[in-house]
């Protein structure tokens, strides 16, 4: 199983929003290429202005959960007729949790890939809710 890392765009927004966790991968601002840090764990975002830590999507979702946002992805099935149902994509969803109570929920457009759905939800939260 291969880890899904946040894109360059999402990693930059996470850094701007205060994400400061240790990661094993980073992006260089010179070429937006994902690089594995060969000395173990990459130093925190605030210590290097030429690099941007790239967390896994799961790390980013966990960080957002601490801030009161739950990210979910739902399968979308489409009925062609009463006998045939086909998979049609993924629906990214964000729910805001305030004092343990689920307050608001936002669904986004359907996408064809699970990791793209997570990325879409991450971008929505970071750009619109935090």
What residue spans define the domains of the chain? 8-55, 63-129
Burial class (CB in 10 A: 0-12, 13-18, 19+), 5: buried
Q: pTM for the whole thing?
A: 0.84
pLDDT 10s digits, 72-93: 999 887 777 777 677 788 999 9
Taking residues 108-118, report their average pLDDT. 93
Query: How would residue 64 be classed by pLDDT, with cut points 50, 70 and 90?
Result: very high
Q: How far apart are CA 68 and CA 126, in angstroms?
A: 12
Confidence of residue 94 (pLDDT cuts 50, 70, 90): very high
pLDDT(119) > 70: yes
* CB-side neighbour CA atoms (13 Å) of 11: 26
Q: Residue 56 forms beta bridges with which residues? A: 5
CA distance 46 to 17: 12
Does the structure show a pLDDT above 60 at 48? Answer: no
């Amino acid at each position: 199983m291969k880890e899904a890392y946040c894109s360059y765009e999402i990693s930059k927004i996470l850094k701007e929003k205060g994400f400061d966790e240790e990661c094993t991968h980073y992006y260089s601002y010179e070429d937006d290429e994902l690089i594995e840090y060969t000395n173990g764990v990459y130093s925190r975002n605030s210590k290097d202005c030429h690099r941007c830590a790239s967390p896994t999507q799961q790390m980013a979702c966990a960080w957002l959960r601490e801030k009161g946002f739950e990210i979910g992805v739902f399968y979308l099935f489409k009925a062609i007729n009463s006998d045939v149902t086909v998979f049609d994509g993924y629906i990214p969803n964000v729910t805001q949790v305030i004092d343990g109570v689920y307050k608001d929920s936002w669904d986004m457009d359907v996408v064809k890939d699970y990791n793209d759905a997570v990325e879409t939800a991450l971008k929505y939260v970071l750009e619109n809710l935090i």
